[in-house]
Amino acid sequence: MGVRIHEVAVRAGVSVATASRALSGQRGVRAENRDRVLAAARELDYEPNAVAAALRSRVTHTIGMIVPRISNPFFATLVEAVEGRLQDGRRSLLLAGSHYDPEVERQQVRSLLDRRVDALVAVPCHQHHSTETIGNAAERVPVTQLDLRVDGFHGDWVGVDNEAGVFQVVDHLAALGAHSLAFVGSHPSDSSAQARLDGYERAAARHAHHSGPVLLGDFSKEWGRQAAEKLMDSEGLPDAVVCGNDTIALGVLAALIERGVRVPEEVMVTGFDDIPYAELSRPALTTVRQPQERLAAEAVRLLTSVMEGEQRPPQRIAVAPDLLVRGSTKR
């Protein structure tokens, strides 16, 4: 197999202990010996066995991440942003997907912990059924919840202020003169769905409208299509359809346009997330941008601070999102 630290030590004429210290850059090694060890390592093309190092030092330099669906562009962007932040150090990312199933999530998290990840970034798939999984994990390693969070467990969380985002949307629509609204979202099984629904109802109330039809399904374009059909089949389309996320909104948009409804003249449509394709639809989608780079950076920062032993109470960081006005709401 490969060359071991023992060979490096022999070639450098020092003990294994000294070689180890030199390679990990610890102080307590004379410069001359350090240089000879490093030279020997280079000459032999020494590749340290990270598994052995992890066993003894109890640090794997690996962090775990679990998301509901890897292929969702929103989560994929988060994964990329987290991975990018880790690369600075020499850390790697063990990735798992829960497919929105709390039982799968439980097993996946357990598998990550068995592998002794140093910390966990979790986007929990359910605001209630994920609580135990997240809580158990948090007893073993530092955990930061990202984007979504569970109910009944108070730990670090970084996400966007969903209610504020929905408020901006509704204010914007009201300013454009929309009187009747509808909401197409997801059943509140996760914290974002919940917050966006709550935000919508409070915002609509604030503008003294009744909130109009509220249709709840899941975060898919298919559901967006279905919901749009329902709205068109009922009497009187609303002035604007507020959607729980971009995927739904794109489905709604496609269904409306297929049936010849003009957007935004007859009905305005808004999304949430600003996924990469929100700006490519016709009309381009007015939406709420989540600063994912920032979210990921904060999440990694929180984890790192705990891993370095910082003692502090759990933090919840709600980043304010930006409204992006595009063609789907302009007159």
Partner DNA sequence: TCCGCTACGGAAATCGGTTTCACTTTTGTG
Partner DNA sequence: CACAAAAGTGAAACCGATTTCCGTAGCGGA
Q: Are strands 156-160 and 316-319 parallel, antiparallel or unpaired?
A: parallel
Q: Which of 8, 19, 41, 93 binds a copy of itself (CB under 8 A)?
A: 93
User: Distance (Å, rounded) from C-alpha 30 to C-alpha 4?
Assistant: 22
Site mask for a copy of itself (CB under 8 A), range 164-203, x = bound: ----------------------------------------
Which secondary structure element, helix H or strand E, spans residue 113, and what is its range? helix 102-114
Partner touching 15 among DNA, a copy of itself, none, CB below 5 to 8 Å by kind? DNA
Partner interacting with residue 27 (select from DNA, a copy of itself, none; CB below 5-8 Å by kind)? DNA
Instruction: Report angle CA 290, 296, 300 to the nearest 5 degrees.
Output: 155
Q: Is 282 in the site for a copy of itself (CB under 8 A)?
A: yes
Q: Is 291 in the site for a copy of itself (CB under 8 A)?
A: no
Site for a copy of itself in 255-274 (CB under 8 A): 257
- Contact by Cβ (8 Å): 271, 176: no
Q: Does 286 bind DNA (CB under 7 A)?
A: no
According to the binding rule CB under 7 A, does residue 133 interact with DNA? Answer: no
| Phi and psi, residue 121, nearest 5° | -105, 120
Among 7, 10, 73, 261, binds a copy of itself (CB under 8 A): 73
> In the numeric block, which tokens belong to residue 289?
């941008």
Q: How far apart are CA 115 and CA 103, in angstroms?
A: 19
The enclosing H or E element of 21 equals: helix 16-23
Assign 317 to helix, strand or coil.
strand
User: 320: which DSSP letter?
Assistant: P
Residue from 189, 245, 242 nearest 221 by CA? 245
Distance, in Å, from the CA atom of 73 to the CA atom of 273, rounded to the nearest integer, reads: 10
Choose from a copy of itself, DNA, none: what does 80 bind? Cβ within 5-8 Å by kind: a copy of itself
Size, binding site for a copy of itself by CB under 8 A:
51
Site mask, DNA, residues 10-39, x = CB under 7 A?
---xxxxxx-xx-xx--xxxx-xx------
Q: What are phi and psi of 45, to 5 degrees?
A: 55, 50
- Give the Cα separation of 67 and 54 in Å (integer): 25
Give the span between the Cα atoms of 110 and 51, in whole angstroms. Answer: 19
Give the residue, chosen from 3, 95, 297, 324, that forms a contact with a copy of itself under the rule CB under 8 A.
Answer: 95
Do residues 245 and 274 make contact, with C-beta atoms less than 8 angstroms apart?
Answer: no
**Rule CB under 8 A: is residue 115 a binding residue for a copy of itself?**
yes
**Torsions phi, psi for 117 (to 5 deg):** -60, 150
Residue 245 touches DNA, criterion: CB under 7 A:
no
Nearer to DNA, 60 or 77 (CB): 60
| 143 or 284: CB nearest a copy of itself | 284
Task: Tell me which of a copy of itself, DNA, none is bound by residue 73, counting a contact when its beta carbon lies within the kind-specific cut-off of 5 to 8 angstroms.
Answer: a copy of itself
Per CB under 8 A, contacts with a copy of itself among 13-52 are: 47-52
Q: Are 100 and 68 in contact (CB under 8 A)?
A: yes
Is residue 261 within 8 A of residue 328, CB to CB? The reply is no
Shortest Å, Cβ 36 to DNA: 10
Examine residue 89 and tell whether it contacts DNA (CB under 7 A).
no
Q: Report the interface residues with DNA, using CB under 7 A.
A: 1-2, 4-6, 13-18, 20-21, 23-24, 27-30, 32-33, 48-49, 52-53, 55-59
Q: Report the interface residues with a copy of itself, using CB under 8 A.
A: 47-52, 54-55, 60, 62, 69-73, 76-77, 79-80, 83-84, 87, 90, 92-97, 104, 108, 110-116, 221, 250-251, 253-254, 257, 276-277, 279-282, 284
